[in-house]
Structures are given as structure tokens and as C-alpha cells.
Amino acid sequence: MRLIIFGTLNGQIGAATRIALQRGAKVIQVEDIEQGLNTLRSGRGADLAMIDVSLDVKHLVDSLKAERINLPVVACGIGNDARAAVAAIRAGAKEYLPLPPEADLIAAVLEAVAEESHQMLFRDPAMGQVVRLAEQIAPSGASIMITGESGTGKEVMARFIHMKSPRSDKPFVSVNCAAIPDTLLESELFGHEKGAFTGAVARRLGKFEEANGGTLLLDEISEMDVRLQAKLLRAIQEREIDRIGGSKPVKVDIRVIATSNRNLADEVAKGNFREDLLFRLNVVNIKLPPLRQRPADIEMLSTFFVKKYAEANGVPERPMSPATLEALRLAPWRGNVRELENTMHRAVLLAMGSQIELADVRLPDGSALTEAIGRGTGATAEASAGEAGTPANMVGRTVADVERDLIIDTLKHCLGNRTHAATILGISIRTLRNKLKQYSDEGLAVPAANEGTRVTA
């Protein structure tokens, strides 16, 4: 956990720093926003920013957004000043933290905003075999490809490997290749010099240099444009990168881990992925089994999530009834651990009795879990999207109209989660994003993006 603190926090900087350090964070403190931005541009990355409300919170948030530095911001101020808190949240801060700091409150904010966990929670033998393989190859420097369905915990596995490697005291840097437009991904990875393109207001080091000495995770690499793959291949082979607008190559020392929820051999055959890059990345393949093939993990993970969200929401931790546990084991869980987590969060909020009953476990649309079991579709209710339009209702409509309704309905059922919706629809996240932009340009209301919580198994 890397924390950057902007300002003096009204004289509470020492106390806040000590608490963060005790909680395992690595802390950088800067006096003002420009100094902090220069620090971030130089490759000294962070997972979370805390800023004194006496500074311009909006300027920091806008500057981070303009330079595509994805960093959650927490504002801090003396006491429970409601006006300062509201102003900070409106300016774009994720949370407001009253000062003087309390250890438990800072710990909760660090966990909730950064959402960082290195736990590998499992009980099923199928997952145990995968974890043993990960532990065996972690000390090496080999590139690793982690594959598996969406929501199985690929990024958590990557963090686990990093923490078990000799690079554990160095940075772990993650890049979601599906979430960054193709035109910006090259700069995000390799960095740029000042003036290299419109908007390049200063030199910025990319993720390769930020991860120097540590591990770089290329999440959902199958979504990367094939033209950029050639530059990535050279960077991995030569262990050097070229900044956009730079005059000479820069040496880097990193371990690369990549993930994909697609069959990359099929993508190679389609011409969407370079075969030589696949060979370079796939030195060791770790395939994560879907949750439905890890039945022993379902009860353990459900119990873990119940405890987690009961504490987070200040409600009693209720045990699950036998009927509830049996239904959870029978559900196919197409969204895997992420879907199970969201389902148990909902159940914790809905439960009113002495235990979590089957009636408390609901799908996003409010229907019962038993309906999903009967359909064999899991708790995402993705079948509902298909049932929304019967053949009779489709007659007389264009293919484009039917496709649009299917995409929007599926996205609604996934609560705005683009990655999950694309998986259900069987299309790439890039195709989905292009379709949604088209619909938005046509004036159609598109569900807001919501990529859910980090998988913790």
C-alpha cells in the first residue's frame, strides 16, 4: 500500500503518517499539489492520496484526471466540519477523514478506498493445486499468464505471486488494458515527454518505469490493440522501453504477469493477438477454476463475505441457514467470486431474522436465488436478458434494434459492470464500449459504469 499525503494535515501529518506506517503503508509527504504531481509523474506511484482541505482539492482531482493518473483521493480536515466534507466530496474526493486521526478510521479508509488485499482464501482441492503451482513458480523471474473466467480472482492471484516472490518489497503495478482507450494505453505503459502530444503538459513516466524492480500486471491483455502488442513484445524481450517523444531507450527490470478471460490461442487464429507475444508471456500458465468447480470454497467464501459486510454496515453477523447454504452450493455462479460477494453483501442488508434465510438471498432484479438455480444461469440472472425478447416480440424489428436492447438489458442486469456484461454477451469489452458510445451519441440513456468490488479470493 503506497500513500501520498498532500499538505500538513493541519499539523496532524506526523500522527497520520505513523498510523499509516503501522498499518503497512509506504508514505510520501509533499507540501503542495504541484510537488505531489511532479512526484507522481516521476514514477513514484501511489495507491491512495490524502489531501489537507486547506489545499485545492478540486485542482488535484482535475489534474489527476487530466493526466490520466488513476488515484483515489481522501480529503482530511479538523473535526467533523460538514461544510468542508461536502465541499471536498463535491470536488471529487472519495472520502472525508476528520482529524485528529483515529487508527481504526484510517485503517478502514485505507482498506475501503484502496481495496487492497493479498489474501488467498480457498478450501477446495482444485484451488489448492493452483495455489501450490503459484507458490512453486513465484520465486522465479518467468513471465506468467493467468487465465480464467471473469471474477475468478486473477488479479488477486497476481498479487499473491508478487508477494511470494523476491520482488515483494518492490512495486506491484496493475494496468487494466480493457479500461484504457487504445490511443492512451501506449502513453500509460511507456510514458511520454513533455509536449509529445496534445495534453502532455509534463514528462510522465509510464507503468513500466513505475514498476521497475517489481511486478507489472497487464490485466485483460487480450483487449490490447495488435499494433501496440509489437511494442510491448520488444519491451519484454529487450528489457527497455521508449517513451513517447523520447530520444533514447530506458532500461527496466520488471516481471510481467498477464491475465485474460479469453482463449488466446483462438485470438491468435483470428489475428487479434500476436503469437510471438503469447509465447513470450505464457512461460507458465495458471488457470483459475470457476467457482462452480470449487464447491468447497463456496461456504467458506460466503461466510467470509457475510462477516466482512456485516462489520462494514454495522449490522449483526447472522449465520446462514442450511437451506441457504445448500442453494449457494447449487448455484452455477457465472460471475464467480465477484458475483458471490455481491450476492452475500445484498443478503446481509436484507436479512432481518436470527439467520440469513434463503428468501434473503436475492438476484439484482429482486427475484429469488432458486429461480436462477432452476434456470441454471447463476445469480447474475443473465438469462433474463434473453427472455426479455421472445421470437414473437422480435418480428418486425431490425437486428440493430434487438442487439441494442439486448446489450442495454444485459448491462442493467449487471448493474453497469462493463466487463461482466461483455462476458455474458460474448463480445470484447472494446466492442461493448464502442456500442455504448454509439448509443449515447444517439441520445439513448446508457447505464452508468460500475466495475464492482475487488475479488478477494
Write down all domains in the chain, each with its CATH number in brackets. Answer: 2-114 (3.40.50.2300), 125-287 (3.40.50.300), 291-380 (1.10.8.60), 384-441 (1.10.10.60)
Query: Does a cis peptide bond (omega within 30 degrees of 0) precede residue 249?
Result: no
Cβ neighbour number for residue 144 with a 10 Å cutoff: 24
pLDDT by position in tens, the chain (length 457)? 788 999 876 677 677 777 777 777 788 889 899 999 988 887 777 888 989 888 999 999 999 888 778 788 988 887 667 788 888 888 888 888 887 767 777 777 666 655 544 568 889 999 999 999 999 999 999 999 999 999 999 999 999 999 899 998 888 999 999 888 887 899 999 998 888 887 777 888 899 999 999 999 999 999 999 999 999 999 999 999 999 998 899 999 999 999 999 999 999 999 999 999 999 999 999 999 999 999 899 999 999 999 988 987 889 999 999 999 999 998 889 889 999 999 999 999 999 999 999 999 988 777 788 777 766 544 443 333 333 333 444 555 677 777 888 888 888 877 778 887 777 777 888 888 888 988 888 888 888 876 543 333 4
Residue 42 pLDDT? 79
pTM of the complete model: 0.65
The H or E element that residue 233 is part of is helix 226-238
* Burial of residue 353 (number of CB atoms within 10 Å: 0-12, 13-18, 19+): exposed
DSSP-derived 3-state class of residue 248: coil
Residue 444 pLDDT? 84
Q: CB of 288 within 8 A of CB of 146?
A: yes
Q: How far apart are CA 92 and CA 58, in angstroms?
A: 6
Size (the chain), residues: 457
Cβ neighbour number for residue 388 with a 10 Å cutoff: 15
Q: CB of 63 within 8 A of CB of 33?
A: yes
Residue 454 pLDDT? 38
